[in-house]
Structure 1
Amino acid sequence: MLNRLFSIMIFFGIPLVVVGAIFHWSDIPMFFLCCITIIALAGYIGRATESLAIVSGPRVGGLLNATFGNAVELLISIFTLKAGMIGIVLASLTGSVLGNLLLVLGLSFFAGGVKYKRQNFSIHDAKYNSGLLIFAVIVAFVIPEIFSMSMDHAKTLSLSIGIALILIALYMAGLFFKLVTHRGVFASAEQREEEIETPEWTKGKSMLILLLATVAVAFVSEQLVHTFETLGEQFGWTELFIGVIIVAIVGNAAEHASAVAMALKNKMDIAVEIAVGSTLQVAMFVTPVLVLISLLMVEPMALVFTVPELVAMITATLLVINLCNDGESNWFEGLILFAAYVIIGIGFFLL
């Protein structure tokens, strides 16, 4: 039913976005039209990566899902950078971290926990993710903020570039560590018998759909960015709220749907890999890449978040580490994560 709805939304949504762009429709209806279309496209991205996950295994599948899901976030951010809205870009990156750690993981734990009393996932993955989360969010994001207080913009930008290069290198090294040199260590600790599944689409069809959906998302994202200024004026929303909540939810729709679907199938290794793996990818790859891309723009972006953004990300990181390090989840832990997301969302709305 949901897949058919997504198909209808794409069938009508993309042509309407094209017509709206040509005839310069009002920004408010264009915003909602673009959001609906991107969410539907993200649904197709999720289905394609789920088919690939069946063929490739949980970790590679989760990585693929996070990568193509974050492609939406990356494309929206690039067009936002081009428009000179650096505050919205940094806020959307904050929202992506919060959304994946608290909303996506929380809903996955809750949905899976309602169906199954207790669910397990790899404790090796949990410990690995904990270390990288602390490094990426608490070390790499906090240091530029602290040091920038005693630096001018040029030096802060130089520091941001150095940190960006280190983050990208460490992220690549982490993938090599996890998928190559220590692949056996990260095999599912429970060694459960996996049911034999048939992918919805073939590998070739899945890759083709991913390519076409990503191209479509790029076009729709550009139209979406043009509506932000009017949206803020019309509803009284700040750039911070638009970035942290609105852009982040739309940009991460693929992960939202896929992670919850995996949890309902009791495939928590994939669900956790999608949610936490996506967070790590945003923090250690997408964010530094945007810093480097911004050097080509009129106004470069330094890796300096606001204090509320940093506090929210650190809080989310510590909460997730505390709940995940035992390798088990239940519906109440999911409710805790979701409640934290709502509280932080209210704070950004009122800020």
Structure 2
Amino acid sequence: MDKIFGVMVLIGVPLSVAGSLMHWPTLMMFGIYCLTIIALSSYMGRATESLAIIAGPRIGGLLNATFGNAVELIISIFALQAGLIGVVLASLTGSVLGNLLLVSGISFFLGGLKYKRQKFNEYDARHNSGLLMFAVIVAFVIPEIFSWGMNKSETLSLSVGISIIMIILYLAALFFKLVTHRGVYANKPVEEEQHEEPEWSKGKAVIVLLLATLAVAYVSENLVHTFEAVGKSFGWTELFIGIIIVAIVGNAAEHASAVLMAMKNKMDVAVEIAVGSTLQIAMFVAPVLVLLSLAFDQSMPLVFTIPELVAMVTAVFLAVIISNDGETNWFEGLTLLAAYFIMGIGFYLL
């Protein structure tokens, strides 16, 4: 599979450059851009897996989520610049649903087929549950409810205030987890894990991450310009493109890495990638996009549609209930996947 992705990068990046310069058919370029981003994401996943082995599961999972979300952030910035506010909000919704339901679901399902019971740190799970409830239910629902009695300027001011608070709390959560309480709530290992050598050295992994991120930035800018034509061709709405297409392509790195970790029974890393990425999207990426939008022609308030909010709140409750006991199995993974596909059908038909 690594060789296939390598070939896809070697072919996809030059084709992306040539196609954008020579104005090849939009639908063809949409497919090339998506496949190229997914292939580049695989290299980001391999690099962060190496760093996870070197730095440990928490930092490794955080790095994976950060660089995986860098793709999403880059695509969203170009979409904001193009005035596609609906696509950006939908892609944020899709990231929350994709990480909590699709990524966790596939990871739990495939890992559970190989191991009957997979355990992870229940203290981290409970800590993350509280943050998930805050990020989605408090910080996302409040702007929607309060905006009913506000004008656009007041709604934007509320969104900016909430965004600043969320960024501060997210940074405080990282400080809590990685500095003041690092190792305080660690589970005692049942058995000694086998020592695993990283695929790449620390320096090589960092270089690969940076180069892949730069390439993704270029391809993403061109991908955004194909959304309108692709939507008209397939009858897709901005909502569906953002929630399903952009979210899956933008989070391909985390998808691959979390599943790989689960199949190796490294559930602490897998859960940290899926849940940590969700928290980073909700508490950092979304607020940053709100603040960045102030520099563009159209500012983006942190106001989602009712279907988006209901879907995210439902996903959070389901993920919290399933993960709070610190262990999982294939059936719980299948339950998460079923919820994702039900929501996907709903958004497609909406």
Q: Same fold (TM over 0.5)?
A: yes
Residue 189 of structure 1 deviates from its aligned partner by 4.1
User: Is 2:233 the counterpart of 1:238?
Assistant: no
Q: Paired residue for 1:208?
A: 207
1:1-351 equivalences under 5 Å are 2-190=1-189, 192-351=191-350
Q: Which amino acid aligns with 1:219?
A: Y
Q: Which amino acid aligns with 2:4?
A: L
Q: Unpaired runs of 5+ in structure 1?
A: none
Q: Per-residue displacement from partner, 1:88-142 (whole Å, max 9, x unpaired)?
A: 0000000000000000000000011000000000010110010000000000000
Residue 45 of structure 1 deviates from its aligned partner by 0.2
Distance 1:249 1:314 in 2: 19
Q: Which amino acid aligns with 1:58?
A: P
Distance 1:22 1:107 in 2: 38
Distance 2:200 2:62 in 1: 18
Asked whether the equivalents of residues 123 and 189 of structure 1 are also in contact (C-alpha less than 8 Å), the reply is no
Q: Which amino acid aligns with 1:55?
A: I
Distance 1:185 1:130 in 2: 18
Distance 2:110 2:337 in 1: 12
Q: Per-residue displacement from partner, 1:23-47 (whole Å, max 9, x unpaired)?
A: 1111100100000000000000000
Distance 1:82 1:185 in 2: 43
Distance 2:182 2:172 in 1: 13
Residue 194 of structure 1 deviates from its aligned partner by 1.9
Q: Per-residue displacement from partner, 1:193-236 (whole Å, max 9, x unpaired)?
A: 12101100000000000000000000000010000000110000
Asked whether the equivalents of residues 178 and 186 of structure 1 are also in contact (C-alpha less than 8 Å), the reply is no
Provide the identity percentage: 69
Distance 2:258 2:250 in 1: 15
Distance 1:214 1:149 in 2: 39
Which range is displaced more, 185-194 or 44-53? 185-194
Q: Which amino acid aligns with 1:243?
A: G
Distance 1:276 1:134 in 2: 12
Aligned residues: 350
Structure 2 SS opposite 1:283: helix
Asked whether the equivalents of residues 103 and 341 of structure 1 are also in contact (C-alpha less than 8 Å), the reply is yes
Asked whether the equivalents of residues 76 and 251 of structure 1 are also in contact (C-alpha less than 8 Å), the reply is yes
Residue 186 of structure 1 deviates from its aligned partner by 3.5
Distance 1:192 1:141 in 2: 41
Asked whether the equivalents of residues 106 and 336 of structure 1 are also in contact (C-alpha less than 8 Å), the reply is yes
Distance 1:180 1:188 in 2: 17
Q: Per-residue displacement from partner, 1:279-320 (whole Å, max 9, x unpaired)?
A: 000000000000001000000000000000000000000000
Q: Which amino acid aligns with 1:123?
A: E
Distance 1:64 1:219 in 2: 21
